[in-house]
Chains A and B, each alone.
Chain A
Amino acid sequence: MTGKSNSDNKERRPAGTTPGVSRRTAIKGAGALAGVAAATSLIGLSARAHSGSDAPIRIGFQVHRTGIGAAYGRWYERTSRAAVDYINQTGGIGGHPIEMVIEDDGTDPKRGAEMVEKFATQHKVDFVFGTLFSHVVIGSAPRAGELKMPYFVVSEGYHVASGKLNRYVFQPGITDVRQQVSSMAPWVTSNLGKKIAMIFPDYAFGHDHRDFFSAAAGSLGGEITTLLPIPPTESSFTKYFAKIPASTEVIYHVMVGPAVLTFVKEMGEFFGNNRPELFGFIDSLEAVDIASPGLDYLEGSYFWEAMPRYADGLPTAAAAFYRDQVGVDANGASQSDSKDVATFSHMFGCWETLFVIKAAVEQSGYRSAMDKVALIETLENMKWFNEGIAHPQGHKQFVGQLHQCFGRQFISKVENNRLKVVHTTTIEDGLYEPEADYTKQAL
């Protein structure tokens, strides 16, 4: 221990007094705090008690503002903000405006559960939506069930439809991995090759890819040559490429997190011109410009997209309207900054989810938290969401017992540093036998 004594700044106090805060100031402070708390809760109470025509519907938005999901979170927030503004401008939900309350979960499961608690007990919102990363969903959803808070995830994971969560959890605005990979398998095995190496993140979302694509490809005569699970925070991939057998015809990759550019670069360094076919999920490149230097290696490779990043891939009026509202240009980047590329295959889920909430509230006659059961039962009986301004990605079939929607998928080719849609699947391509039935659970 360095032997220096403590600093010279200590004041001499009169004997018998305690340093720091005196009892009097502490009580004053506590009194002030209590007063503020009472005042805000009074305001809150009055807002809820006043169930007149302008009482807002309060929706909690659990967003990944920080952590490894931050790039997605930023676009989720912009899209949700745009949807809320548009809905409020066009009459709100049954005449009531939406009031969105935002909390950052740091892309952390523990914090996610804490935010759910905060939404329910402190902010007292009607619904919570927005969680993306599957480990955060799995960490947060149980708490939503315990607190009886309708919880709309925008996650793509198979966890909702698997039946492993609870009856308060829905995924009505974005398709899940199982249907995505099931609808990809036929095209990949007939167009690219049957010997496939899979690279995927080593957690729930990645395991869904591994399990369902292996099963789907296997049933079509495909063979998985090797499985390479990657820790989501991995920063270097060269060591994984060494494990891919030379007989591999297709590398199937789905990556999350900040290292995707390194992944492509190192793939280029490792394989050079002698590479297998590449089929990736656009998750590998969300928020990344496909024309970035170092990505030329992807020329001629293929990607799954949920919603085509380039406007000419889905030239409908509804998609164009949505694109303009959320501030994305025809190349999939922010209208105000062409270097700020959107997470276009995921963020539409926020827009569509908010419109589903709107439809469910209006059809069930939801007025307050006492009407939750009616809302959930109404939603479970919905069957179709039609393509249009509310659902710009396309028609959705909603399977009430799974709490999951089904939609079409796109396959795009990288050509001249752009993505060009070469195949569109049907909803039927992705449908699977339900393995669960939430409607049988108690609420």
Chain B
Amino acid sequence: MSFGAQLFLAVLEGTVSAFVLAVTALGLSLVFGVMRVVNVAHGEFFMLGAVIAWSVAFMVGDLPLVGFLIALIVGPLIVGGIAVAVDWLILKRIDYNPEGTIVATIGLLYIIQQAVLILYGPEARVVEPPFYFRIQFPWFGYSGYKLIVIGASALLLLGTWYGLTRTRLGLYMRATQYDQETAQAFGIPVRRVYAAVFALGGGLAAIAGVLVVPIQQAHYLMGHDPLLMSFIVVIIGGLGSLRGTLLAAFVIGISDGVISVFFTPTLAKIVATLLVSLVLVVRPAGLFGEKAP
């Protein structure tokens, strides 16, 4: 295949992964920005979204589009509910202590993973895409559904931006992120905002899982890579900066796609990790992060 065609394929693949990564990492970034805690089980919320999508598809039977639409709603709702329960049962009781949350969410990661292994099984299962069509470019064929994923993710990102900037809950979230004590002094129910943010973060990861699962498959270990990549993106973009997260997601996603096609995927991961190291050395707060007090 010619260089141009390969580049085109690389950019297509990179764009798909960049958008999915942006949605996933956005959840993690919101949680850190507002609550100042790290959710190590974030990748498992992503996996739960995919597994729920499979379960819904299984129950609905022969109508992939219906199953997909239901999963898009039910998945984030269930995962958001789990997130609220986790917040109430665990995070609130350890008082959102940063180190404690890391340890607690690591435990949560294993609990969710093994629960899914027990209930769902060790094998990878297919979820049919809601639309299946193949686009034939002159040099290669491409999945039409992947282009739909790009569109849906873009809509989600826009929707989240709208929610954050134009709604009251979004205002509360931004205020809590900016200065938690003052926000509380102004009567913002900070603890409830935390619960909502944690639910939103989990819900975003779950939607990303639902979107991605027709491309990959639902497997109980699939949360591992999204977690790693989300961390890389959030660190590079700057903890607490949504703009930085989005920018970093695109840089990492597209470079991953291009390096994977022209070199190897392992090299792409090496480059991403080197970028993180570079950022941590040169600009520890990340590209757009707030400087540490």
Interface residues of A (CB under 8 A from B): 1-4, 6-7, 66-68, 70-71, 73-74, 202, 229, 231, 233-236, 238-239, 241-243, 246, 258-262, 266, 268-272, 287-288, 292-294
Contact = CB atoms under 8 A, between A and B. Distances in A.
A269 B143 contact: yes
B131 to A, nearest CB: 13
Given A4-B96, A233-B225, 8 more contacts: A2-B36, A2-B95, A70-B123, A234-B265, A235-B216, A242-B6, A258-B217, A261-B126
Interface stretch (B23-31, B76-84, B133-141): B133-141
Contacts of A73: 122
B96 A70 contact: no
Contacts of B98: 1
B141 A270 contact: yes
A270 B126 CA distance: 19
Given A258-B221, A259-B216, A239 B126 contact: no
Interface residues of B, number: 42
Contact of A272 (B136, B181, B260): B136
Given A4-B95, A261-B217, A292 B122 contact: no
A272 B266 CA distance: 28
A266 B221 CA distance: 21
Contact of B93 (A7, A270, A287): A7
Contacts of B126: 261, 292-294
Contacts of A6: 95
A268 B140 CA distance: 10
Given A1-B98, A4-B95, A236 B216 contact: yes
B117 interface: yes
B282 interface: no
B1 interface: yes
A262 B142 contact: no
B10 interface: yes
A117 B266 CA distance: 33
Given A259-B217, A269-B141, A70 B9 contact: no
Contact of A71 (B122, B136, B215): B122
A70 B36 contact: no
B148 to A, nearest CB: 14
Interface of B: 1, 5-6, 9-10, 13, 17, 36, 93, 95-96, 98, 114, 117, 121-124, 126, 128, 134, 136, 140-143, 180-181, 215-217, 219, 221-222, 224-225, 257, 260-261, 264-266
A426 B210 CA distance: 48
Q: Which of B134, B141, B224 has the most CB of A within 10 A?
A: B141
Given A66-B117, A66-B122, A70-B117, A7 B95 contact: yes
Contacts of B222: 235, 258
Nearest to A233: B225
Given A7-B95, A235-B222, A269-B134, A261 B124 contact: yes
A68 B95 contact: no
A67 B114 CA distance: 10
Residue of A231, A236, A239, A292 contacting most chain B CB atoms (<10 Å): A239
Nearest to A287: B123
Nearest to B266: A231
A101 B90 CA distance: 37
Most buried by A among B117, B123, B224: B123
A241 B13 CA distance: 12
A236 B13 contact: yes
Contact of B123 (A7, A235, A258, A269): A258
A262 B123 CA distance: 13
Given A239-B13, A242-B9, A2 B216 contact: no
Closest 4 CB pairs between A and B?
A70-B122, A258-B124, A258-B219, A71-B123
B122 A241 contact: no
A67 B117 CA distance: 10
Among B117, B122, B126, B224, residue most surrounded by chain A Cβ atoms (within 10 Å): B122
Contacts of A261: 124, 126, 217
B18 to A, nearest CB: 13
A269 B16 CA distance: 15
Contacts of B36: 1-2
Contacts of A243: 1, 261
B140 A270 contact: yes
Contact of A262 (B13, B121, B141, B216): B216
A239 B10 contact: yes
B122 A236 contact: no
Contacts of A231: 265-266
A79 B6 CA distance: 46
Contacts of B181: 3
Contacts of B140: 241-242, 270-271
A272 B141 contact: yes
A272 B139 CA distance: 11
B268 to A, nearest CB: 9
Nearest to A230: B265
Contacts of A67: 221
Contact of A239 (B5, B217, B261): B261
18 contacts: A1-B98, A3-B181, A7-B93, A202-B266, A231-B266, A233-B224, A235-B225, A236-B216, A238-B13, A239-B10, A239-B257, A242-B261, A258-B217, A266-B143, A268-B134, A272-B134, A272-B141, A293-B128
B216 A239 contact: no
Nearest to B128: A293
Nearest to B96: A2
A271 B224 CA distance: 30
A1 B117 CA distance: 36
